[in-house]
Amino acid sequence: MQYKRLTAITAFFAFFIIMPLITFNFNSVKCYAYPANYSASSSKTLLDYTAENIKRNFEDVMTEHEIIKILNKKGIKKYSSLSFPFSSKNQKLKVYFIKIIQPDGNIIHINLNNLKTVTAPFNPEAPIFSNQMLKTVQIPGLTKGSILDYKFRSTVLKPYMKNNFFTEDYFGGLSPLKKSVYKLTIPDGVYYRYAEYGFKEKPEIIKNSKNTTFVWSLWNRQKLTPEPMGPGESFIVPHVMVSSVKSWNDVAGWYANLTKDIIKPGKQLKDFIKITASKKTKLEKIKSVYDFVARRIRYVGYEFGIDGYKPSDVNAIFKNRLGDCKDHATLFASMLKQIGVKAYPVLIPTTEIPDMNPGIPTPFVFDHEITAIKLKSGKFMFADTTSNVTTFGDLPPMDQGRNVLIIVNGKAVIAKTPIFPSSKNYIRDKEYASVYTNGNIKVKAAIIYGGAYDMYKRYLYSALSEKKKRNEVLKNIMSIAPNAKLINYSFENGNSMTKPYIEKFSFTAKRYAGKNGKKIMVRIPLRTRNELAKITALDKRKYPIKFGYNFSEKTAAKINFPKNYKIIYIPQSVNFKNKVGSFKTAYSIKNGALIFNSIFSVFGYKIKPANYAAAKKLFNYTIKTLASQVVIFNER
């Protein structure tokens, strides 16, 4: 029931670029044994049985029994060890047995004395320290056809939200599944509400004078296969969520009570806030505070017990210059209030987990915290200071389009974060090139990045060495011409939080243009978009394409040709538009030079399967058009 590490790598920029991001899970602790390595097709789950019993004092006892058949070498590697996570402060763990049934019927019993208690692995990308522990053991003797059978029980001793429980169960993961059962017992008289995702049948309900028991069952399910750039496991595996929390106001009041004694700034912090008084406008003051929290408060989380939910004291955050997402949001809101700005904490599920269901109140569903600023219009503007590469007014893609809980003076306000238009996430590519009689080319280019692309480039600028930055430029020009030779390069606004990131480079390339007698053929623009073909490689899709943001790219190119050469063919200008986006080109000739302009725009936050054919048509049309060549002819 505390912030828990979800993953080190989040698919943030899925189109031209991929960036590692960090997300933070605000979830209730459920204990799952998991193998050291994961593969969806390496095993088959014969039995996935969970019996969860909520006691009248809200102690939560969960017993799990797993029977798994090993299908291949990947399965042997996957289950070469088992780890059972638990919280050392508020959770008890008991492993009943672990055994291996070999194909010949021989049974190997794993000695439970070999279970070792270790701390959960530390990830340097997300320095979070907690009381999360693992009981882990090696599993020897597995072969193809072996059956791994184990059973364990975890007990959460005390709920962090008094007199409430909230839980969920995922049915069998991605692997082929013979039988999965989730049995939940709730004491009579305890309020509850549940939601089902991916189920066609309702649960069996068993009532007596003391309890109500729900039994959800799933039989003979085939392997679930995620699609490229599609939703992850937590979206496509059937699951159930149950909560006893009656209203979002209860969640908001509980959280407000946790923070009431830690949000008041002391003298040192108040004196520091006065530095913003020199700024002329309220907006400049807000930006000054934002820049300080985003760039000067290092991300570190100490999340033990209730501190997994409760932020640190704002004065300690300020003094130590470190904190996690909830610490960032709390300090930012506290500082803004000192300059007369209404700001509030926002609990948010990032795009890596299913969205908050407004009909099921629970703190279980949030894995992140940001800040809401109330504008004069009464609307809210959102800011995430944990991303030190995001300019004020923007949001990381993982925060966009999500249902959120804003806590306003202890009351709940349900809202949705914005999805920014394609004009916000852009690449502006300016190319100046000269083609020579031998087919060689010389190029100068300047690329301006905005929104999601700006965040990614700024991240690289701060994270990479000079050598690696140069290698990134080399990869870029080599994608244009494999034999390119870099002349020079430079970056602008890498440390700015207000100006867009700009990348400039120049290079030469031998035999870039094709020759056929007196004819020279050259592809304009220089860069193609073959990546688009990979995105629509499937014939059809079951799940949506999740770029996570809308985007656009503009290209302006000017190409000079050798003297005595005349342009005899230029491709036809196009203007294509459908449900997914648009692509437009224009060619013109000025003083013997070819001028090319294009605009490519995609409504790519989420492309539904029903629109996949339209995406395929747009992307293939764009690739084909950009592969067209200009032909020039030597008149002598």
SS (H, E, C) 316-371: HHHHHCEECHHHHHHHHHHHHHHCCCCEEEEEECCCCCCCCCCCCCCHHHCCEEEE
Q: Which of 198-202, 218-222, 430-434 has the lowest mean pLDDT?
A: 198-202
State yes or no: pLDDT of 109 exceeds 70. yes
Write down the residue that tokens 């939560």 correspond to: 60
Round to whole Å and give the CA distance between 167 and 158: 14
- Where residue 508 falls (left for φ over 0; alpha for ψ -120 to 50; beta otherwise) is beta
Residue 2 falls inside a structural domain: no
Burial of residue 393 (CB within 10 Å: 0-12, 13-18, 19+) is: middle
Residue 499 falls inside a structural domain: yes
DSSP string, 136-192: EEE-----TT-EEEEEEEEEE-S-SSTT--EEEEE-STTS-EEEEEEEEEEETT---
Q: Are residues 453 and 507 in the same domain?
A: yes
Residue 303 falls inside a structural domain: yes
**pLDDT band, very low/low/confident/very high, at 128 (cuts 50, 70, 90):** low
Residue 414 falls inside a structural domain: no
> CATH number, domain at 139?
2.60.40.3140
Q: Are residues 199 and 134 in the same domain?
A: yes
Q: Are residues 236 and 328 in the same domain?
A: no
How confident is the model at residue 23, as a pLDDT? Answer: 27
Segment 550-555 mean pLDDT? 95
Segment 114-139 mean pLDDT? 76
| Contacts (Cβ under 8 Å, ≥6 apart) of 465 | none
Contact (Cβ atoms closer than 8 angstroms) between residue 152 and residue 64: yes
**pLDDT band, very low/low/confident/very high, at 524 (cuts 50, 70, 90):** confident
Residue 18 falls inside a structural domain: no
How confident is the model at residue 479, as a pLDDT? Answer: 85
State yes or no: pLDDT of 33 exceeds 50. no
State yes or no: pLDDT of 302 exceeds 80. no
Residue 182 falls inside a structural domain: yes
**pLDDT band, very low/low/confident/very high, at 453 (cuts 50, 70, 90):** very high
Round to whole Å and give the CA distance between 359 and 344: 22
Return the bridge partners of 118, or none: 134
**pLDDT band, very low/low/confident/very high, at 287 (cuts 50, 70, 90):** very high
Domain finish residue from 202, 222, 244: 244
**pLDDT band, very low/low/confident/very high, at 352 (cuts 50, 70, 90):** confident
How confident is the model at residue 203, as a pLDDT? Answer: 94
Q: Are residues 187 and 65 in the same domain?
A: yes
> CATH number, domain at 616?
2.60.120.1130
Contact (Cβ atoms closer than 8 angstroms) between residue 144 and residue 76: yes
Q: Are residues 517 and 546 in the same domain?
A: yes
> CATH number, domain at 396?
3.10.620.30
Find the helix or strand (DSSP H, E) in which 434 lies.
strand 426-435
**pLDDT band, very low/low/confident/very high, at 26 (cuts 50, 70, 90):** very low
Segment 371-395 mean pLDDT? 94
How confident is the model at residue 5, as a pLDDT? Answer: 25
How confident is the model at residue 523, as a pLDDT? Answer: 85
The 10s digit of each residue's pLDDT in 527-547 is 777 778 888 889 999 999 999
HSE on the CB side for 429, CA within 13 Å?
A: 21
Closest by CA to 606, choosing from 14, 3, 4, 9, is 14
Q: Which of 33-47, 503-517, 566-580 has the lowest mean pLDDT?
A: 33-47
State yes or no: pLDDT of 463 exceeds 70. yes
Q: Are residues 36 and 180 in the same domain?
A: yes
**pLDDT band, very low/low/confident/very high, at 390 (cuts 50, 70, 90):** very high
Segment 208-231 mean pLDDT? 94
**pLDDT band, very low/low/confident/very high, at 122 (cuts 50, 70, 90):** low
State yes or no: pLDDT of 465 exceeds 50. yes
- Which is more confident, 1 or 373? 373
Round to whole Å and give the CA distance between 287 and 278: 13
Closest by CA to 339, choosing from 408, 287, 401, 400, is 287
Q: Are residues 278 and 234 in the same domain?
A: no
Contact (Cβ atoms closer than 8 angstroms) between residue 30 and residue 74: no
- By DSSP bridging, strand 298-299 and strand 239-243 are unpaired
How confident is the model at residue 121, as a pLDDT? Answer: 63
The two tokens of residue 424 are 């916000």
How confident is the model at residue 592, as a pLDDT? Answer: 85
How confident is the model at residue 27, as a pLDDT? Answer: 30
State the residue range of the domain holding 87.
Answer: 31-244
State yes or no: pLDDT of 370 exceeds 90. yes
Q: Are residues 210 and 154 in the same domain?
A: yes
How confident is the model at residue 123, as a pLDDT? Answer: 55
SS3 221: strand
Return the bridge partners of 435, or none: 441
Could you tell me where the beta strands, DSSP code E, fall in 188-326? 193-197, 204-207, 211-221, 239-243, 298-299, 301-303, 322-323
User: Percent helix, strand, coil in the chain (nearest 5)?
Assistant: 20, 40, 40
Q: Are residues 220 and 262 in the same domain?
A: no
How confident is the model at residue 126, as a pLDDT? Answer: 59
| Contacts (Cβ under 8 Å, ≥6 apart) of 396 | 12, 21, 384, 387, 390, 452, 455
Contact (Cβ atoms closer than 8 angstroms) between residue 142 and residue 132: no
Segment 173-194 mean pLDDT? 95
Amino acid letter, residue 335: M
The two tokens of residue 301 are 């989380």
Domain finish residue from 229, 244, 259: 244
Burial of residue 110 (CB within 10 Å: 0-12, 13-18, 19+) is: buried
Q: Are residues 211 and 301 in the same domain?
A: no
The 10s digit of each residue's pLDDT in 186-204 is 999 999 999 999 988 889 9
The two tokens of residue 625 are 């058009």
State yes or no: pLDDT of 4 exceeds 50. no
The two tokens of residue 150 are 């184990």
Q: Which of 39-48, 57-66, 534-543 has the lowest mean pLDDT?
A: 39-48
Segment 341-362 mean pLDDT? 94
Residue 108's φ and ψ, nearest 5 degrees, are -105, 120
Residue 25 falls inside a structural domain: no
Segment 422-443 mean pLDDT? 94
How confident is the model at residue 244, as a pLDDT? Answer: 97
- Where residue 56 falls (left for φ over 0; alpha for ψ -120 to 50; beta otherwise) is alpha
Round to whole Å and give the CA distance between 529 and 207: 60
pLDDT mean across residues, the chain: 87
Segment 109-128 mean pLDDT? 77
How many structural domains comprise the chain?
3
Segment 297-320 mean pLDDT? 80
> Rounded to the nearest 10 degrees, what angle do helices 466-480 and 452-463 cross at?
130
Q: Are residues 261 and 209 in the same domain?
A: no
Residue 296 falls inside a structural domain: yes
Burial of residue 449 (CB within 10 Å: 0-12, 13-18, 19+) is: buried
Domain finish residue from 179, 210, 244: 244
| Contacts (Cβ under 8 Å, ≥6 apart) of 138 | 80, 81, 114
How confident is the model at residue 131, as a pLDDT? Answer: 66
Round to whole Å and give the CA distance between 129 and 121: 10
Round to whole Å and give the CA distance between 357 and 458: 34
Round to whole Å and give the CA distance between 239 and 218: 10
State yes or no: pLDDT of 554 exceeds 90. yes
- Which is more confident, 8 or 595? 595
Q: Are residues 519 and 618 in the same domain?
A: yes
How confident is the model at residue 13, as a pLDDT? Answer: 30
The 10s digit of each residue's pLDDT in 399-427 is 999 999 999 999 999 999 999 999 999 99
Residue 465 to residues 125, 216, 493, Cα–Cα distance (Å): 17, 53, 16
State yes or no: pLDDT of 1 exceeds 50. no
- Which is more confident, 490 or 515? 490
- Which is more confident, 573 or 131? 573
Find the helix or strand (DSSP H, E) in which 428 lies.
strand 426-435
